[in-house]
Chain A
Amino acid sequence: MADRRARRRPGLRSSGRHTAQAAAQTGSNPGNDSNSRRRTLGQRRLRVFPDPDNDTPRVMLKRVIQTQPQVSPLKPRISNHEGTEEASPELPSKRVSSMGELQLPDLAAEDTFVTVFHLNKKRKKVSISEFERAADKRLFQNQAQSTLDNTTLFRSLRMSVGSLMAPDTVEKRGLLRRPRNRKAIDMEAFEGGVEQNMLKSNAQNYLVDLQSASGIRTTMMTSDAEIVLNNTELFVQPQLNERSQNKLSALGPQLSHSKTPAQRSKISDAAQDTAGPEGLVSGVGTDEGRTQRHSENSGLDQEHIDRMAPVSPGTPANQREDQQDGSQQSNPVEQVSVHEEEVAGSAEHGASAGYSEHLEKELAEEAELQITAAQDSRDKTDTAPSAGEGLAEGSDGPHVSPGAEHETAKGVGAGSLDRHSDALSSSEKSGMNPLEEDDEQDVLEDQAIMLDLDDPEEEPAEDESEHPESQEVKNFESEVRQCRLDLEETAMGSSQQRREVSMKTPAFVRAAAHNPLLSAPQDEKPAAPKSLVQLLKPKQVPGRSGTSQRKPREPQIARSLIKEVFSYFVKMPVTREAFKIVEKCSEKYFKQLSSDLEAYTSHAGRKTVEMADVEMLMRRQGLVTDKMPLNVLIERHLPLEYRKLLIPVAVSGNKVIP
């Protein structure tokens, strides 16, 4: 008994339940000094009796093993409890003594005891006092029966231990339960929090979905939506863009053939270029603020929107993934509109007259443009290359891609240029100068942070040196002041578009402009989600209604490809601006290339560029020499599949792949 008690103690201690043990002991023995006496007695007696047996823990373990199977921890034993209740009071006294002696078996048996405790716990709580009473009575009786007591003791031990351990188990269970309860509570709270998060995330996902919506049509939509979401103040701008897009869809088929696509691309490129140097992220907020002001001003002026319409969709046409570019482009658009407003307001007397004349001329000629086919444009391109150049240079100034604009104007819808060029070049130049100066100055003033241009200085120089200088030299010189030029380009290009488009505006667009104008102030007020929906719907509509003309994509070499190839070849870190320059360079290169190929092909009396033509070009460039044949270059730089296509390879079976 004492041994077992001793067992218990170390077992309990090992489990770290000193307090429980003490509590159990105190609880089980409230003011029962007799128990302690009994323990001592029991200890003596137990030691006496089982000494030969208890000396070795092995023996004790045997006893435990022998006795344990009799008691299955899983089965509730009421009868045993009753039987052991009497013996249990002895156990506590004996346990203490036995605990100290035997530690090993305790550890082994502890598990079973613990399980038993669980079972016995409920029953034992009540019977502790009874045990104690019975223990006093039965103490002497049980002492005589050592062996029997073993079995009974074990059971009683378990029972008593269960009782003693009841508080422990309670505590154990309490300990065990608490985390469970905690988990339950946490789960509930977590679920509640999850729901809240879901709501938030749904909103976010909605935004994310909007933002991530693919397709050209939705790009502006998403960008505007995002802008709207980010700044609830900006209702006018996206809506204006929206309306402008609506108008664009109507104007689309007409404008598409004009030089606006090229200009749009230039504007987009320029805008993107401006976005680069200007620092997109920080600029967006300020630009949006600016655009808002501009839009507010423009909302009042019909002309703005009319001009905005063609310009802004032209710019969004080339915006795809870069929202910042969208905001950036909208900025120049807005600024342009503002400038235009200012220009219109200021140049009422002399320049406006000439301006309106230009507009009228451009209008008529734009209408003709629409009607005329590409063939006409070709003819006109031939006749008006210089005039076109003069026009473009005079209007745009030294831009990176005035040549492209010229050529596109020539190649595509330059019908207007023919008649425009003479009239415009002569009249516009004079009229353009003050306008340009005003525009550019206004642009510069608005972007005062970024620009310190010498516009007045450059413009007269630009106007004067229209023809004689070669485009390339000019372009290179201009590239030195890339940032400025880009901005100017946007202003000029957009101003050109403005004029071109404004021609059409009086026809029918203004009527359409009126409606959105009227509704514009009203629509500004609705909440962001509403505006979102509005943005979504109307923006989808023009995309669908204008199916005849999806936003015309400018075919460009993938920027990623350029980056990859250039980085691979240069083997050094390259700045972003340098990449932009490489892109522009490659555009010029393709221009040169196409003209050269055309020359070679026509020289050979053919209309299709053949491999020989391209090889001739490479030879002229100095890439293919006598020392460096073409095939070597092919092998070096092209992937396997294409090599096979280009080089006749003798394949097994005498099959030659041409």
Chain B
Amino acid sequence: MRRTVPRSTLRKIIKKYKPQLRLAANADLLVHLNFLLFLHRLAEEARTNAFENKSKIIKPEHTISAAKVVLKKSRG
């Protein structure tokens, strides 16, 4: 597993979308945690889709349908 979280990249991304927004000191770590959990959910969903299709490989279709669901879920 990676050992260094891309903290600066995260900050830049958020700045890109919301330049007026500031981030607290370690808030970007929580954001990264959030991102990891999002990917986790996406992976689980995609894996479920692939199993349903009896496919042993994650295909784009599986990912797309998984993304639809998970993005809706993680809207907050």
Which chain A residues have a beta carbon within 8 Å of chain B's beta carbons? 374, 378, 407-408, 411-412, 472, 476, 479-480, 482, 554-558, 561-562, 564-566, 568-575, 577-578, 580-582, 585-586, 588-598, 601, 607-611, 613-615, 617-618, 620-623, 633-634, 637-639, 642, 645-646
Contacts and interface: CB of A to CB of B under 8 A. Distances in A.
Contacts of B63: 578, 581-582, 585
Given A572-B56, A589-B35, 4 more contacts: A556-B9, A561-B2, A609-B24, A621-B75
Nearest to A584: B67
B42 A585 contact: yes
- The 4 lowest CB-CB distance pairs between A and B, nearest first, are A555-B12, A569-B43, A620-B76, A570-B43
Contacts of B68: 472, 476
Nearest to B72: A472
Contacts of A611: 24, 26-27, 30
Contact of B6 (A408, A411, A557, A574): A557
Given A476-B64, A566-B43, A590-B13, A578 B20 contact: no
A552 to B, nearest CB: 10
Contact of B39 (A472, A476, A565, A572): A565
B33 A638 contact: yes
Contacts of A374: 19
A608 B11 CA distance: 12
Contacts of A476: 64, 67-68
A544 to B, nearest CB: 24
B22 interface: yes
A571 B50 CA distance: 12
Interface class of chain A by DSSP: helix
B21 A581 contact: no
Nearest to B10: A557
Interface class of chain B by DSSP: helix
Given A564-B2, A578-B63, A589 B37 contact: no
Contact of A608 (B24, B42, B47): B24
Contacts, number: 198
B60 to A, nearest CB: 4
Nearest to A589: B38
A247 B34 CA distance: 42
Contact of B21 (A572, A601, A623, A633): A601
29 contacts: A374-B19, A408-B16, A412-B19, A476-B67, A554-B16, A557-B9, A557-B10, A562-B39, A565-B36, A569-B42, A570-B43, A572-B56, A574-B57, A582-B42, A585-B42, A585-B70, A590-B14, A593-B31, A609-B21, A609-B23, A610-B24, A610-B27, A621-B75, A622-B73, A633-B33, A637-B37, A638-B36, A642-B26, A646-B26
Nearest to B22: A608
A566 B29 contact: no
Contacts of A555: 9, 12-13, 15-16
Given A555-B9, A572-B56, A618 B37 contact: yes
A267 to B, nearest CB: 16
Given A575-B58, A609-B23, A589 B9 contact: no
A411 B13 CA distance: 13
Most chain B beta-carbon contacts within 10 A, residue among A558, A591, A634: A591
A479 B64 contact: yes
Contacts of A574: 57-58
Nearest to B6: A558
A581 B16 CA distance: 21
A341 to B, nearest CB: 34
Contacts of B18: 411, 594-595, 597-598
A617 B27 CA distance: 12
A169 to B, nearest CB: 69
Given A578-B60, A609-B23, A646-B29, A566 B42 contact: yes
A570 B30 contact: no
A570 B46 contact: yes
Contacts of A480: 64
A482 B21 contact: no
Contacts of B34: 593, 614, 617-618, 621, 623
B74 A589 contact: yes
B58 A570 contact: yes
Contact of A572 (B5, B16, B47, B64): B47
A558 B75 CA distance: 23
A580 B31 CA distance: 21
A586 B35 contact: yes
A638 B29 contact: yes
A633 B76 contact: no
B29 A645 contact: yes
Nearest to B14: A594
Contact of A575 (B3, B21, B33, B57): B57
Contacts of A585: 42, 63, 67, 70-71
